Every structure is written in structure tokens, then in C-alpha cells.
Structure 1
Amino acid sequence: MSSIFSPVFLKPPRPYGVTASYATIRGLRQPLPKSPDVDEIDPSDNDFILSILRANPSLRDTKSYLASFGHREPERAKSSDLPDIATILPPVDRRENELPKIAAEPLKTSPVISSILNPIYRRTALVKLQGPFTDKQLDSIARGMVYLEKLGLVSVMVIEHDKLARGDEGERATIIEETMRVVGVLEAHGAKARPVLGTVVRLGPMPCGHQDSISHDVPSPEAHVFPPDLVPIRSSLRAGEIPVLPPFALDSFCRSVRIDANDVIAALVRGMVQAAELDGSLQGKQPRDPHADYSEDINLIPLRLMIINREGGVPSYARSGYPHLLINLSSEYDFIRDTFEPSWLKERPSALSNLALARMCLSYMPPTSSAIMVSHRSPSSLIANLVTNKPAVSSSLPHALLQGNRKLTPETPTLIRRGQPIQVIRNLANVNRAKLTHLLETSFGRTLDVAPFYTRLEKYLDFVIVAGDYVGAAIVTNEPGPGQGFPPISYLDKFAVLPSHQGDGTVDFLWVALHDETYGLGHPFSVNPNGGKEGKGEGRDLVWRSRADNKINKWYFDRSSGHMRMGPWVLFWCDAEKRLKREESQRADSGLSYVESWEAERLEQWADVVTKLPSAWK
């Protein structure tokens, strides 16, 4: 994602009669309804097609999904594996000329829907079913698993029984009975399922000489799997069956013992990734698509980790215990553990252990993979996550909207990604200019006028937020006011993310950090340890502009406090949230829907400054 900020010379707007759309308008903060239990939900609400439609995937989401699951053109007809826009949305159904016409106006099916409903390339997911669940709850979960299989994601499920203590009498028989119960419910919904009761996992860390080549900064699993151990799972997947495993492992005496399901899943993730890498190395110099025939082979690399429980997601300090929406493990993991309230353990006793499991698994899975922690009350969230790979509600939306959004409930799922480290740099000498230049030019598709651009930053830079190894950046400057006595303007000069990282959560991670350092400063939810001010200080209004025809303006509209059109440009701003809250309290329930006279004067000052800024491009 990127936007263009180049100069424009227009007359300042009139101080009166200017309208703006505020994010914190009247009616947003309504009491949150209590989520109904799954037993109270009408089965029609879980309809497969409706679940896909509720996901509301964007064009980018659709392209990403089809790249993993959808139909690909033969190489002789199209060299690229990634479909372009014309491939996804052709004006005429291609199969029209291949089938005999039986009516003058036959009903045509969208190729997008056809690809979603008839996936050719199958991927795998690891699922932790953290029960026990009632029959109706398990019925709803099984329905979701069947829907995911229809979408091309085949689950490898591991059963956990929280209420059955280790060493209880009849423990093994109870676990096996629960495994068979899950298999029976899956088959009752039309899926093929296979109980894998033989031990696949071996207890203990991976022996020396079998370690993977990837260096990890997270603990290794307490169990391990060798590629030959995966034969039962391979066999099940090749037969189109969902393997369901109890949490058993072989100990050093070759006894089958019950272990924590987290250890089983972590061992399976690493083992399946290693087995897939071995498969690729045995294919020789001529690579073969492992998805060419699902009946013969399947890509074992897990695409998703799903943790289905009765608790929901990870509680957040920023939302009074409501779940995190999106977690950046690379920069937030330690802080989330440090700010976890002991009182939350009563309602969510496994939240931290599941977060640790997600961190361990995602360290082995591809960077595009994600983990989701979801309550049994939200089975349709799994479908939305598969199609869009995004949280139910964007974490970068204004907090006023998040607090009043009816989608945000105690059962809201938490999406977890490996993410990127976030750092705030306030000294230009500490910025890697070569990498920042490459990021800006690649994101904007233009050539940077390097010397004057950095000369201006040396004079006016406030800070630069960098994501990862310069895969994204936000540059904020302190622009002088229009005259003496006017405070400097906090201006978002550049906001850019490499195209290869658009859609993987980097945009939201970057914007949340931008919020914490500018207009959200001073709030307890802005204390994220990203190298910045960690919530200390007073928030400042953030201003930026974008061309009126910029495709990402809708994204800006959703995240700004207001906007004002200036001919071919749109001026956006985010009000300092602490001051905005005071203004709202003075107006009681009247809300803030229009620009007051004092605000119009402020907009005039902003427009006078930002329209005179020099271009950064050649």
C-alpha cells in the first residue's frame, strides 16, 4: 500500500461551510450486545455461501486466495501462475463456447465463485480442537471444518480435553472416545474423516543431526516427528480424508502416552514443513507442482493454524480485556505477556499457552501463514479468515469505532501473524537512506529526488517508523505553521509498504504504531514498546493529503477523523484523541458531525501549509 504526496498550489478553503466526516459520530458507542451461544444460533446463519459473502473479500484478497487454491491456466496458455484482473473478472464466461447452449440466456456462474467453490489446489491446516464441547457446539464446529474443506483447506485435527486431568482413570479410553466422536460428527456432515489412533509424534526434542536449517529465537517443541512418521497423515490427506489425532506420543520406552496437545501440534508443524522440504529436494532440478493431482500428493506445509476453544482470543490491555484483533508477534509478544492481567486467567486460562503455541508454529510456517484463536461461537470467522487472511475488524481503525463496533465482542477472534519488528527512529543519521529510498521508489513507482528530499528531512523530521528491514515506513515531519505564534503541524509526509508485503498485516502494524506516536499519544493503549514514546506525552493532530482518485482513499476515510476536498486533492486528518474526547463530552450526545468555526480556521492553516510543500519526486 502506498499513497502519493506531491505539491499542489490551491487557494485555502473557506473558513465556513466546510463539512467533514468524523469517525466518532453520534451513535457509535452503543452498548455491546451479548453474543448468543452457538446453541441459540439458527443453522441458516452458518450457510456456506452466506459465510463467504459475509467475508466480503477485496480484489486483492480474492487474487491471493485464487493464487493458493484456485484454477490456474495451463502453461501453454499463460506463463504466470498468478491470475490478473482480467482472469479473475472476465466480461464473458470462458466456458460459454465450450458447452452447448440449452437456453437463449443460460444462467452463468462467476469464475470467482466457481474457483472458490471448486478449488483445485488443496492446502493443509493444523487445528487444535480444545474441548470438550457439547453435541450442538461440536456440530457447528464440524460444519465449519467441512466448509473449509470445500474451500480447499484440509484440516489435520488434534483433540484436547481440558477437563480430563493427566493420569485420570480411563484417560486413554476417554480421549479415544472423544476422537471417534469428532470423526462421527464430521462424517455426519458429509466429510470423510479418519481417526489416526496410532502414535505419530515422538516425545522429546528433535535429536541432534536432524535439526532444521532455520534458526529460531523461540523454544523448540518438546516433541518431534520424522518424515516417515507422517505416513498415516499423508495417506489420509491423499484419500481426501480429514485426519483426527488424539494427543498421544511415543516415549523413550516406545510406550504411547498422553501429552499436551500443544506439543503434538508444534511437532506436527515442524515435521510437516521438513517433510515438504524433503519432497521438494527429491523432485530434482525440474520442479513439480505438488498440487497437480490431489489424489496422489498434497502440500504438507501448513497454511493456517486454528485454535478452536471456549475462550476466544487473547485479551487486550487496550480494550479492557476484550480480545486483541491482530497480533504482531515480532514486536508485541513479550509486551502482551507482561500486560496480561492475572484476573483474565479465570475466564481465559489457556490464552498465553495458546499464544506461545502460535508463536512456535508460525516460526516454522511461511511468512504469509497466520494463526487464529477463535471461540466455538464464531465458526464463520474461520471461513472469513481463510478467504481474506485478515482479522474480523481492522486493528488500525480509530479506537472510537472499535469501542462501538458491534463486531467487537468477548468472542471476537484473534488473528496472529509472525509480523515485523517495529522501530521508531527520531534521528535521520540512524536511518538507512539507501533502503528507505528503495522502499519509497518501489512503493510509489516514481524516482525520488534524493538530495533535496533528505535535506528537507534533516530540517523538519519528527520521526520515521520502520517495519522490518524497511519493508514499510511512515515518515512524519514537523512543518512550520503559517505564521508566527502557530504551532508546528504534524504531517504524514510518506506512508509506504512494499508491494510484496501489502496484505500481510504490515500496513495495519505500521498504522497502529503511527497512531501510538501521534494522535493516540497519551492513552494507555498507546504504550506499545516500539522504541517510541510508549504512550507518554500529549497527542497531536496528524495531517496528510492524497489525490482524489487514489485507490486507497477509502482506507484513509475509515481511519481519519475527517477529510476536506481540495480540487484534485483530499486533505485528511486525525484529531488528537484526548482532545477530541473532551470536545465530545462538552457536546454530550450531539456528536461531532460538522466542522465548527474554530476547526475551519484550523483547516485553513493546514491547507495553507501542505499545499506549499515541495515535491519529493523527479
Structure 2
Amino acid sequence: MSILRSNPSARDAKSYLASFGARPRPVPVPLHSSPPVFTDHQGIRDAQPAVEEPKPSPIVTSILDPVQHRTALVKIQGPFTDRQLDSIARGMVYLQKLGLVSVIVVEQDQVPRGEEGEREVISEETMRVVEALEKQGARTRPVLGAVVRLGPFPGQDSATDHLHATIPEAHAFPSDLAPIRFALRAGEIPVLSPLALDSFCRSTRVDANDVIAALARGMVEAAELERNQNLAETITRPEVDVDLTPMRLMIINREGGVPSYARYGLPHLLVNLDLEYKHIHDTFEESWKATHPTALQNLELAHTCLSYILPPSSSAIMVNHRAPSSLIGNLITNKPAVSSSLPHALLQGNRSLTPNTPTLLRRGLSVEVIRDCAKIDKVKMTRLLEQSFGRVLDSDAFYTRLEENLDFVIILGDYAAGAIVTRETSGSDPSTPIVYLDKFAVLPSHQGDGTVDFLWVALHDETYGLGLPFSSNVNGGKEGRGEGKDLVWRSRSNNPVNKWYFERSSGHVRMGDWVLFWCDAEKRLKTEEGRRASAGLSYVEEWEHGRLARWTDIVPKVPSSWKK
């Protein structure tokens, strides 16, 4: 049911199968090139005919063939009751069936570091997690000794300083990970206590976040080493092949995700760490330190791992112990439980958005707002538009028009995605241009990884969301200062993306082969609501009279950007 509720699209399913789908087995080399020869009791040698092995059907093979296993680093941040641990363990076991094997580090928040008897309590908590997993049918391997070493990785200081990432107080070399590697190869879930070896080879308790960050780096390096060495074991025994590179960082706790000022304390849905990390710190309210005491430390862990350790395709998720099934949906779709680019009014009234909604975190992409057409890299922009739309751009005409009409361009990363907004006018009223979304493009390689939501949120903050506190993101643009403007755009009536547009627009009207969409300026709506108080908005406000007729006059006249 958790898989069905995740409602994956065709692209989501393709992405999942690309990561976890069964790979073809290597063809075994026969030990004998001819059938065996037997001697009967009379000494006559007869060659026995070869017995043909039965060939299973492709369907049976696909069911019996194992999935490609990937790894996740999981922090189980207790204390939890037995019932809560059972729920968490059930989620971990289902993830393993789907191909994601957990490497678990257990933390106990109620036992301060340095307290007498802490080692015994931590060991007991680790064994409780082991028992909960085995109760659900999993095979486990408790690792009660230290795997990582105390202190930063040698030479790490200078390498991470420019990324503003916190340097872990522990490290691990690939050779230290033998217990974890052997457990994974044996189909077991390793469960570790948060311990590290000091310089005198003494085992001491450390912060679980340091252990996880050390494991992340060590596992990435070990996976790369194995790929380079092309180990014979992974070729001859694909059923135990496990990619040690962590695909997910999962933080399961009692707090849930990181609270958001834009959602009045409900969790952030999708975080672009490259852009939002400092902003989340700056907007974290004092009262949340009581309800979410470890939220910022866990945010810091995700930032450290995703910024400079794990590959760009990896992500982190912070989830309440009450919602472990959401991890399954996230694994299938690689998306947040609720899209962060939906209108704020819709999000606030969405029953799916609760204190238990997970926060999905990605390394993300930088955001740049360009207001001068001369500063656009036309080669990269053309490549982005043509790959995104699958058509040939009429470059000369397109950029000539932008030089006259450009309002601004939003660029994500190195032209991984972009939104082009223009000012369009009519001959009857040239003094009042409309704000028109001319192009909204994402490279195919970034479709389905959250980039589209990052781009739409930035577009919202620069157009119809201007003037509101939750539009003050630091993105190189106006940072929330100014008056919001209605945003208008058009889309072919048969465009499969229209469902996504319907959910994010304030309204739409059909114009033959086109659909015209718009988003109302949110500050104006808020102001009108406040003025009318309990009376509410009327069906058509005074400022709305005539605007639809004006839009339907201007928008169809915007010339095509493509070659015939």
C-alpha cells in the first residue's frame, strides 16, 4: 500500500528501475566441453547424451533475479518505545526488499555524553534495534565496537573550508569498513553504536553525526576502490553485490523535519542546501529549539554529507518515527511527500502537510537572477532550451526580442534549468506591460531530481510572491522586496506538463490550441482579504475587471521561438 500511495509517474518508475532493477547475470563458463563418459560393468564405454537444462520463463527469471542493492546511511535517534521501534524496523525491512540496504547508527538523546554507564545504555539501545529488525524477519549484524577513528580526516581542513561545511570529528579508511562490508555481502543489516577509536586505540562514545559523516566518506572511497579493482567476487556472485556508495541519508527521530518560517512551524518540504542552508539558520525561531532541539544539528549533518562527500544524485531525508512508510514513497519517487512549489494557500490547507511530514534535502543548485540580456550565456541557454523542449530555437529572432522585452532570467546551476520572464504590451495600452513567463526549461538530466521545484519557487519569489515574508530567500534577486505582479503564461493544450501547471496556477482559460494560465499577485490578495476581513473576497474583484480580456489579447500575439 505504501508503494501504491507513492503514485510514481512513468519517469519516477524508470528512475527507480535504473537504480535498483535487476541486471543480467554473467553467463557461466561450462566446466566440461563434452558430455561425461561412463563405463558399465562389462567395460563398454558409452557416451551419455547431454541433459538440457530447463529454461525458466522470463517472468520467473525477473521475479527470482535479485535487485541491485544500494546502501543508505540511517541515523535512528531515540529513545523510542518498543512499539515505535517495531514501526521503524518494518520500514527498514521493506526498504531492503526494494533494494535499499540500511547501515544503521543508533543514538540515544537522553544519555548525555560522558555520563557514567553510557556505554552500557548505548549497547542496550543498539541491541533493541537489532531485536526489532529480526522480529520483522531481517538478518542483522550488531557492531558494538568502534569502526571509525577519532579526529578529522587527514588534510580535510583546507579541502572543505570553501564549502562552509562542518568538518566531522571522526574519519574512516576503506580498510576499517570490513565489518560493514561483510555484513552487507551476507545480506545482513549492520547496526552500529556511536563509537570511535582514539589515538590510544581506546573506544569512546562520540556524536552519532560524526560517525555517520565518517562512514559516508569511507563508504564512498571503498566503493570507488572496489570499482577500480574490479573485484572478482562482485562478478561471479552478483547476488551479494552491494554498492557501498550511500544513496540516501535518513534521519529518523521524534522531531520530524526542519520547521519552516514560511509554513508557520510546519516542516520544510524540499531544501536546496546550496541556497537555503544559511537562510534556514537565520530564520530558525527561538521557540523551535524546545520542540526541535536537534533540527539544526541534523541539517548540518545533511549539509556536510551532501556538500562534499556524497555524489550529487544522493539525497537526505529527515522523518518522524510516526511516518516510516513515507521513506518507501520517497525511495520510489525520489520526491518530497508534498511538492514545495505548490501555492502557499494550498499547502496550508493540505491535509497531507502535518508536523510529521518529512523534509527532503538535496545538495541543490545555485540560483542567479539576470536582468541584462547581454549577461546571458546564449550558447548554454540555447542548449538548455533545445534539449528541454526537443525543438530547434530560432536564435536570432528569439534573442533580438529578449533585448527589447526581457524582464529577468533565473538560472539554476550552470544552465541546468532556467525561467525567462518578459514584459509584453498591447498597442492599446503600451504603458502597462504584463509579466509573461516566456520559457520554463529544465535539462532532461535534471528532471525528477527536485530542480523543477527549486526553479518554480525562485520564479514565485521574483513575481507573484513578491512582498511577502516567505519570498525573502537569498537568490540573487529582489529577496522579497517589492510589489507582486500577476504572472501569465501559455501552454499547448496537449502539453503533458499542464497537469503540473493546473496545480500551481490561480486560474486558466482555454484559447483554441492553447491554455492561458495565471498566478495572482499574492500580496494583493492578502491585502484585499485583510481589508474585507470576514466578508471574504467577491467572485470578481474590481482590479480583475478587464484583465482576462487584455491577457487573451496580448498572449496569442507573442511570436513563436522555434524554427518550423
Q: Normalising by structure 2, what TM-score?
A: 0.89
Match of residue 356, structure 2, among 411, 416, 433: 411
* 1:332 corresponding residue in structure 2: 276
Instruction: Give deviations 1:140-188, integer Å, cap 9, x for gaps.
Output: 1111111111111110000001000111111111110111111011001
Cα drift, residue 429 of structure 1: 1.9
Over 3 Å counting, the alpha-carbon distance change for 1:357 and 1:62 in structure 2 is same
Over 3 Å counting, the alpha-carbon distance change for 1:496 and 1:255 in structure 2 is same
- Paired residue secondary structure (1:371): strand
Matched, 1:233 2:216: no
Q: Report if aligned partners of 1:291, 1:298 keep a CA contact under 8 Å in 2.
A: no
Matched, 1:198 2:145: yes
Matched, 1:524 2:475: no
Counterparts of 2:191 and 2:373, CA distance in 1: 54
Counterparts of 2:23 and 2:436, CA distance in 1: 44
Instruction: Give deviations 1:105-140, integer Å, cap 9, x for gaps.
Output: xxx99x9xx87x975111100000000101111111
Q: Report if aligned partners of 2:78, 2:108 keep a CA contact under 8 Å in 1.
A: yes
Cα drift, residue 570 of structure 1: 0.5
Counterparts of 2:191 and 2:442, CA distance in 1: 40
Q: Report if aligned partners of 1:239, 1:295 keep a CA contact under 8 Å in 2.
A: no
Instruction: Give deviations 1:328-351, integer Å, cap 9, x for gaps.
Output: 001111111111112210110111
Counterparts of 2:99 and 2:235, CA distance in 1: 11
Structure number having the greater strand percentage: 2
* 2:67 corresponding residue in structure 1: 120
Match of residue 68, structure 1, among 10, 16, 19: 19
Matched, 1:438 2:391: no
Equivalent AA in structure 2 for residue 303 of structure 1: M
* 1:55 corresponding residue in structure 2: 6
- Paired residue secondary structure (1:356): helix
Counterparts of 1:474 and 1:378, CA distance in 2: 35
- Paired residue secondary structure (2:5): helix
Counterparts of 1:289 and 1:549, CA distance in 2: 50
- Paired residue secondary structure (1:267): helix
User: Which runs of 5 or more structure 1 residues have no equivalent in the other structure?
Assistant: 1-49, 77-96, 101-107
Counterparts of 2:191 and 2:263, CA distance in 1: 36
* 2:435 corresponding residue in structure 1: 490
> How does 1:446-485 map onto structure 2 within 5 Å?
446-484=391-429
> How does 1:555-574 map onto structure 2 within 5 Å?
555-574=500-519
Question: Relative contact order, CA 8 A, sep 6+: which one is greater?
Answer: 1
Equivalent AA in structure 2 for residue 245 of structure 1: L
Q: What percentage of residue pairs aligned between the two structures are identical? A: 67
Matched, 1:344 2:288: yes
Equivalent AA in structure 2 for residue 302 of structure 1: P
> How does 1:58-457 map onto structure 2 within 5 Å?
58-72=9-23, 120-208=67-155, 217-283=164-230, 290=234, 293-363=237-307, 364-457=309-402
Counterparts of 2:243 and 2:110, CA distance in 1: 34
- Paired residue secondary structure (2:335): coil
Cα drift, residue 438 of structure 1: 1.0
The number of residues matched between the two structures is: 534
Matched, 1:543 2:494: no
* 2:35 corresponding residue in structure 1: none
Q: Report if aligned partners of 2:187, 2:240 keep a CA contact under 8 Å in 1.
A: no
* 1:38 corresponding residue in structure 2: none
Out of 300-309 and 427-436, give the one that drifted further.
427-436
Q: Report if aligned partners of 2:26, 2:236 keep a CA contact under 8 Å in 1.
A: no
Over 3 Å counting, the alpha-carbon distance change for 1:232 and 1:210 in structure 2 is farther
Cα drift, residue 534 of structure 1: 0.6
Q: Report if aligned partners of 2:20, 2:70 keep a CA contact under 8 Å in 1.
A: yes
Cα drift, residue 219 of structure 1: 3.3
* 2:520 corresponding residue in structure 1: 575
Equivalent AA in structure 2 for residue 167 of structure 1: G
Counterparts of 1:244 and 1:381, CA distance in 2: 22
Cα drift, residue 283 of structure 1: 2.0
Counterparts of 1:70 and 1:295, CA distance in 2: 13
Cα drift, residue 431 of structure 1: 1.5
Instruction: Give deviations 1:206-259, integer Å, cap 9, x for gaps.
Output: 124999999855233221111111100011101111000000000011100000
Over 3 Å counting, the alpha-carbon distance change for 1:69 and 1:590 in structure 2 is same
Over 3 Å counting, the alpha-carbon distance change for 1:293 and 1:390 in structure 2 is farther
The RMSD of aligned alpha carbons is 2.7
Q: Normalising by structure 1, what TM-score?
A: 0.82
Cα drift, residue 387 of structure 1: 0.7
- Paired residue secondary structure (2:391): coil
- Paired residue secondary structure (1:488): strand
Counterparts of 1:534 and 1:441, CA distance in 2: 30
Cα drift, residue 580 of structure 1: 2.6
Counterparts of 2:225 and 2:195, CA distance in 1: 25
Counterparts of 2:542 and 2:160, CA distance in 1: 63
Counterparts of 2:363 and 2:171, CA distance in 1: 22
Equivalent AA in structure 1 for residue 100 of structure 2: L
Match of residue 498, structure 2, among 542, 550, 553: 553
Cα drift, residue 71 of structure 1: 2.7
Q: Report if aligned partners of 2:95, 2:101 keep a CA contact under 8 Å in 1.
A: yes
User: Which runs of 5 or more structure 2 residues have no equivalent in the other structure?
Assistant: 28-54
Over 3 Å counting, the alpha-carbon distance change for 1:291 and 1:387 in structure 2 is farther
Equivalent AA in structure 2 for residue 457 of structure 1: L
